[in-house]
Structure 1
């Protein structure tokens, strides 16, 4: 039986200079270092723990056989932030601690960065993170949309599988068509979302989407005209 990770427990008395750190800020601090426990550390613990625990690879193990995990067995590890670590916090000062700062548009700000950072650097880091997350969601949305559209036309491919070559050609055509439609819809969706904040960019995206549709229709018409031209004697 494999061990599963439980919810971490954070220190209640962590501080940064004269300021106490709440759990949400502690969670954001990186550069954790594993604490390798020894039998000396175990000897300092309560009799209840010492009576049923032992040190195993720097961890506390509670159970009968570490090589044969059973339900109820525990492995407890500790990690720490080095006392000399430097962090930068951007949040609202509340007494001798910090809390989230809520902007006028409802955005909650409570950020932690390792090292000494200026406000501009933290702004840029947050913007880069937001940009990456936004584009990741757009790509995921595009892929999901393309898969959904292709599944709508999947029965056609199944019908065409009577002739293997026909089924493969239909599948290829459906995938290309689904990708184009998903691409156009994605562009239009992004354009609508940006229209209020970036109207020129929004209009540009709509123009690109329209150009793709017109180009696809023109290509189909050209191919159809070629196929309907009478053969020369």
Structure 2
């Protein structure tokens, strides 16, 4: 993991050294994503530990957060993209006799390179095409809890699954300039052609974390002239 991050910075350093008039920029991306999660949805629906269970949360779309940092020269931009996304599902039942909950929460930590090309002339409003290949480091927590009112007894079980997805995210970016700051609308689709099964204590399970879906964000961009 550390070696990959170091390599990303090395590549960026080479790019900078050859770009005398390159402009450094940092973006904060606040967005919304939809997530497929077919395997985890199926796993959640199969839990019938207690009769009468209802699905109260089924891996909905949710807020995403990210940072782009890189350099612009001419029509091209290049750099690294770090991000975070999460979603979850729950089946539950509560009545006079007690309460049962089965929860699955998925977190994805994104590390990627990106390349962006300006399609329109430099102006207040510009349009870009972008592609970002990278990896998603998955952390999936599964938790079940049972509480019986009459005996005041409770039982909890918990497991954490890990795995890494390889993804590519093509996108279109519309940027509006305000002095040295920009506002952006970023719209793309995250697709993982490689989604290995998640691991539990080093052993493969039968499910994967499928983050495929739309990504839309509003970005705040600050630039610094080199």
TM-score by length of 1: 0.20
Taking CA–CA contacts closer than 8 Å with sequence separation of 6 or more, which of the two structures ends up with the larger relative contact order? Answer: 2
